[in-house]
Amino acid sequence: MNGEAPAVAVTAERLGKRFGRHWAVAHADLEVREGEAWLLAGANGSGKTTLLRLLGGLHRPSAGQVRVFGLEPRRDRMAVRRLLSLVSHDNYLYPPLTALETVRLWARLLARPAADSELLPLLEEVELAEHRDQRVGGFSAGMRKRLSLVRTRLERPRLLLFDEPLGALDTAGQSLVERWIREHRDAGGAVIVASHAVARIGRLCDRAVYLQRGQVSWTGPAPELAPRLGLEP
């Protein structure tokens, strides 16, 4: 131990995004350090996904600024891309490819070529090994979600971004995501999760942001958010 504080993974200052005349996010401030997990919560349309995409560099800010490990996501796109992994509603899968072919493709694109003997354990971890030769186009929504999670293992990010990670997954799949969040945070990585599952995800997180109509209305310890909203723990 060297006594140094964990590195700042993400900072947002007066961050905002406007679509036409509508501000989807306005005046957002936060600072996420390595070894922390943060929850972004709020009703539908509150700005959770927009804020997450701003932090990941997928949206250009209309106001304010965001930094990922000191880098500006839009200007330093490739450098930031190597530092984070975003699992969103869009799986970006190729229906004609099999599960194993998909993982092989990701490994090549990430310049991490590997033998099938190294890739199959990744499919085993998400319980898709027996479906390795099945075309992705025939997968259920839950199977596609599981396969998309494999990419985060290949990317080995310092910052892990999840958008509604429990959606489309069965109980076993949800438990897997929860375990990955814990493991990534405990290993010193940073995690930001946008989710409606306030009580469940809140137990895994250190801090939470609650959004209302694009504005941050509350920031505090994540386990305190569910009781504030009158939700069951």
Q: What is the mean pLDDT of residues 35-49?
A: 97
Q: What's the pLDDT at 1? A: 46
Sole residue written with tokens 């190729």: 94
Q: What is the mean pLDDT of the chain?
A: 94
Is 57 a residue whose pLDDT tops 70?
A: yes
Is 103 a residue whose pLDDT tops 90?
A: yes
Sole residue written with tokens 């992705």: 136
- pTM of the full predicted structure? 0.94
- Tell me which amino acid residue 178 is: E
176-228: per-residue pLDDT in tens? Answer: 999 999 999 999 999 999 999 999 999 999 999 999 999 999 999 999 999 99
Q: What's the pLDDT at 92? A: 82
- Domain 1-83+157-233, what architecture? 3-Layer(aba) Sandwich (3.40)
Q: % helix / strand / coil in the chain, to the nearest 5? A: 35, 30, 35
CA 113 vs CA 40, 122, 154, 200: distances in Å: 35, 14, 10, 36
Q: Where are the domains of the chain?
A: 1-83+157-233, 91-155
Q: What is the mean pLDDT of residues 54-66?
A: 95
CA 195 vs CA 9, 41, 203: distances in Å: 20, 6, 12
Q: What is the mean pLDDT of residues 13-39?
A: 97
- Which SS3 state, helix, strand or coil, does residue 133 take? coil
Q: What's the pLDDT at 2? A: 58
Residue in 217, 222, 220, 216 with CA at minimum distance from that of residue 64: 216
